[in-house]
Amino acid sequence: MDIIQLDIQGMTCASCVGHVEKALKNVDGTDMANVNLATEKATISYDPEKTDIQALLDSVSKSGYSARPAA
Ligand code: 9UX
């Protein structure tokens, strides 16, 4: 598994966290997704043979938020 951290923008309440986590977990290949509202970061572990960073970013934007790889 690879682990990546993303910066998430647009989350304003605890339910937003749930939306983003659900979107990330629905990506085939995601092993674990944890989103922190206070730091606006998502930590995801994923199988690089099944998915990639771009698919993870796209799943977040499709759910109405924006994401970029954390510096
Ligand atoms: Mo909270 Mo987020 O009411 O889309 S769910 S703002």
Complex confidence, ipTM: 0.90
Mutate which of 8, 11, 22 for ligand 1 pocket (most atoms within 8 A of beta carbon): 11
CA 47 to chain centre: 14
pLDDT in tens, the chain (71 residues): 999 999 999 999 999 999 999 999 999 999 999 999 999 999 999 999 999 999 999 999 999 999 999 98
> What's the confidence (pLDDT) of residue 18?
98
Give the start-to-end residue ranges of the domains of the chain. 2-69
Could you give the CA distance from residue 61 to residue 40 in angstroms, rounded to a whole number?
A: 14
Count of other CB atoms within 10 angstroms of residue 62: 10
Q: Which residues have C-beta atoms less than 6 Å from ligand 1? A: 12-13, 15-16, 19
The half-sphere exposure of 46 on its side-chain side, counting CA atoms within 13 A, is: 25
Domain 2-69 falls in which CATH fold? Alpha-Beta Plaits (3.30.70)
